[in-house]
Amino acid sequence: MNYIYLIFGYIGSLIAIIMMFPQVYLTLKTQKTEDISIKTISMNLSAQLFFLPYSVYYELYPLLCANVSLALCDIIIIVVYFKNREFKL
């Protein structure tokens, strides 16, 4: 019976991972970052970094997978944001 909760965890993690791909793809394709809230992306990255030790300690692997993937997506967006900002100054 516990497997059903594990399945829900992995399905939720997969959806969380997939939800950022369109934004990352669009950001990389267009290189437009004017409409992105860097504060939201930064807070999201901070939350994911705090979840990292929690997920490892409690062996919450679905949460760990989702947060590592989302953190990578956020880092990509932040890098593009500051790269574009540098050129506009």
Number of separate domains in the chain: 1
Please state, in angstroms and rounded to a whole number, the distance separating the CA atoms of residues 34 and 85. 9
Q: Do the beta carbons of residue 18 and residue 66 sit within 8 Å?
A: no
Whole-number pLDDT of residue 87: 66
Indicate which CATH number applies to the domain containing 65.
Answer: 1.20.1280.290
pLDDT in tens, 9-62: 999 999 998 999 999 999 999 999 989 999 999 999 999 999 999 999 999 999
Q: Which helix (H) or strand (E) element contains residue 70?
A: helix 61-88
Confidence of residue 2 (pLDDT cuts 50, 70, 90): confident
Nearest Cα residue to 69 out of 55, 57, 59, 80: 55
Pairwise CA distance, residues 89 & 70, whole Å: 29
Q: What is the pLDDT of residues 58-86, one digit of tens each?
A: 999 999 999 999 999 999 999 999 998 87
For residue 34, give its domain range. Answer: 2-88
